[in-house]
């Protein structure tokens, strides 16, 4: 059998059975500090699909960086087939500034596919599309809720895409959400280029979350096993099938004040469930926030002070919330993927 060809990216050559971090020039800061898009390439000895895994497109969504770190430590990658392109930090500018955005205040996930001579965000999007996304067969993009909110681990996918539906079930997050493509998003640009992308949501901006980290890392390993890239040994099994939800509702603050939430992510709710209450600082006026349909809490605010209209709870409509809860418990009961030097 002919030897597999090396993988070439930005002038670097990665031989079959080896791995290497490649720094792709992006820009130079005003103090002459270079900025790179760093891609860790794991090029298997055997042929197979090319998978990209990206995180921190929004610079404050750090949980994805931890998920990629855990993924790259997994022993399953030693005898991998195909090629993994792991980009733990896409938006280096936002990551260093603890910001969702780039210095030009643009949201990178509204600037794809980008332009080589466009804005700072547009140029970064163009480089990422050219060097990573266009080289892949499929991708997994890692996100979290914004700062001061948290999300239940969930997969967002394009309605009507059977391949993504299959991969979403394999990933094994507690909930799958059918989500429309947004103009300028990585998902839209990638699908237009023929690359299917799963979007993972979990945890809170600027915070690590063990449930979100475990669900993300194990989900990627399951997808890689399904694609024939890694062996089944060492890949945690799913516990309960993901619950597919086609719609969801944000419950917002009816008034400003001090917010007390009575439910957390993963909780089952039904019509009449009191999600929380808002009172003034004197306790003289109080407003309850009541659910009006059956479902599961997939996101909520962590802020005790709110303004009228603030998003408080995100509830996905489903009569199968108990099944989703099985998946949540399964992630936390499974043995964590520790590094060797973290076991004491």
Placement of tokens 């430590």 in the chain: 73
Length of the chain: 344
Task: For 305-331, write each residue's pLDDT tens digit.
Answer: 999 999 999 999 887 666 666 666 665
Q: Report residue 241 as tokens.
A: 């099938």
State the virtual CA torsion across 283, 287, 293, 298 in degrees, nearest 10.
-60
Task: For 224-234, write each residue's pLDDT tens digit.
Answer: 999 999 999 98
Report how far residue 43's alpha carbon sits from residue 86's, in angstroms, rounded to the nearest whole number: 11
CB-based burial of residue 317 (10 Å sphere; 0-12 exposed, 13-18 middle, 19+ buried)?
middle
Residue 339 has pLDDT above 70, yes or no: no
Task: Please answer whether residues 146 and 60 qualify as being in contact, where contact means their C-beta atoms are separated by less than 8 angstroms.
Answer: yes
Report the predicted TM-score, pTM, of the whole model to 2 decimal places.
Answer: 0.93
Report how far residue 303's alpha carbon sits from residue 26's, in angstroms, rounded to the nearest whole number: 36
- Those residues whose C-beta lies under 8 Å from the C-beta of residue 176, and which sit 6 or more positions away, are 154, 155, 156, 157, 165, 168, 169, 242, 243, 244, 245
Q: How many CA atoms lie within 13 A of 308 on its CB side?
A: 4
Query: Mean pLDDT throughout 49-61?
Result: 98
Q: How confident is the prediction for the chain on average, in pLDDT? A: 92
Placement of tokens 């990178």 in the chain: 108
> Distance of CA 164 to CAs 124, 160, 190, Å?
26, 9, 13
Check residue 323 and report its DSSP letter.
H
């Amino acid at each position: 059998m002919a030897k597999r060809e090396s993988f070439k990216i930005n002038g670097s050559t990665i031989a079959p059975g080896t791995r290497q971090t490649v720094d792709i020039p992006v820009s130079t800061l005003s103090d002459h500090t270079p900025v790179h898009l760093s891609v860790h390439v794991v090029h298997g000895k055997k042929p197979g699909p090319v998978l990209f895994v990206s995180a921190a497109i929004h610079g404050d969504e750090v949980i994805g960086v931890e998920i990629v770190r855990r993924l790259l430590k997994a022993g399953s990658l030693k005898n991998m087939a195909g090629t993994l392109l792991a980009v733990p930090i896409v938006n280096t500018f936002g990551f260093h500034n603890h910001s969702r955005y780039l210095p030009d205040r643009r949201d990178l996930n509204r600037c794809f596919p980008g332009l080589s001579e466009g804005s700072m965000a547009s140029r970064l999007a163009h480089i990422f599309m050219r060097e990573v996304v266009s080289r892949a067969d499929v991708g997994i993009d890692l996100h979290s809720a914004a700062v001061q909110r948290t999300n239940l681990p969930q997969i967002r996918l394009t309605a009507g895409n059977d391949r993504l539906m299959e991969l979403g079930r394999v990933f094994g997050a507690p909930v799958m959400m059918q989500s429309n493509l947004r103009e300028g998003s990585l998902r839209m640009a990638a699908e237009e280029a023929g690359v299917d992308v799963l979007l993972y949501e979990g945890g809170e901006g600027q915070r690590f979350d063990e449930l979100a980290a475990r669900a993300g890392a194990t989900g990627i390993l399951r997808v890689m096993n399904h694609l024939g890239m890694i062996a089944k040994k060492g890949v945690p099994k799913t516990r309960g099938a993901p619950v597919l939800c086609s719609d969801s509702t944000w419950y917002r603050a009816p008034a400003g004040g001090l917010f007390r939430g009575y439910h957390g992510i993963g909780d089952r709710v039904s019509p009449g469930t009191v999600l929380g209450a808002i009172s003034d600082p004197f306790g003289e006026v109080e407003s309850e926030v009541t659910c009006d349909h059956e479902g599961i809490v997939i996101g909520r605010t962590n802020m005790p002070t709110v303004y009228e209209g603030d998003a408080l709870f995100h509830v996905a409509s489903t009569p199968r919330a108990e099944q989703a809860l099985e998946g949540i418990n399964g992630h936390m009961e499974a043995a964590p993927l520790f590094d060797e030097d973290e076991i004491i």
